[in-house]
Amino acid sequence: MPRLSVWLIRASFLYLLLGLLFGALILAEKGLVFYTPVWNLFPLHVEFLLIGWLFQLALGVAFWIVPRFGKGFSRGPEGLVWAAFILFNFGILIIALQFWIAPAILIGRTAEVCAGILFVFGTWKRIKPQKA
């Protein structure tokens, strides 16, 4: 597995753990009503599980399994995908700070969309039919 996929997939697992923890806390709060501000974790629960885990896991696996160039090991312009990884996680973490930074959602979503575009540019040429 390429190093970049390791980073993407490990990061996705971290978000999975945090997202599940936050979900469990919110669920407990719903049943036990022990500390209402726990609901502040709700947007993080959704962001971490949908974007941080599911989306990032898909990127990591895609970067790994999409066909490589020729018979070599080249995965094309990896720098673009590294930039996508950094920008993507920057976006998620900024969104996690939405209660403290006013335009956090706008900045974070913009970073995530830009990361997606970089990933597409970095992977596009590897999406090709198998040679007979």
Q: Residue numbers of the site for ligand HEM (CB under 6 A)?
A: 20, 23-24, 26-27, 30, 45-46, 49-50
Task: State both tokens at 92.
Answer: 């998620």
Q: Closest residue (Cβ) to ligand HEM? A: 23
Instruction: Find, among 12, 15, 36, 16, the residue nearest to 25 by Cα.
Output: 36
CA angle (4 as vertex; 105, 11 as ends), nearest 5: 45
Distance between CA 45 and CA 33 in Å, rounded?
18
Question: Whole-number minimum distance, CB 53 to ligand HEM, in Å?
Answer: 7
Question: Whole-number minimum distance, CB 50 to ligand HEM, in Å?
Answer: 5
Residue nearer to ligand HEM on the CB measure, 30 or 128: 30
Question: Whole-number minimum distance, CB 58 to ligand HEM, in Å?
Answer: 13
Residue nearer to ligand HEM on the CB measure, 15 or 63: 15
What count of Cα atoms within 13 Å lies in the side-chain half-sphere of residue 32? 9
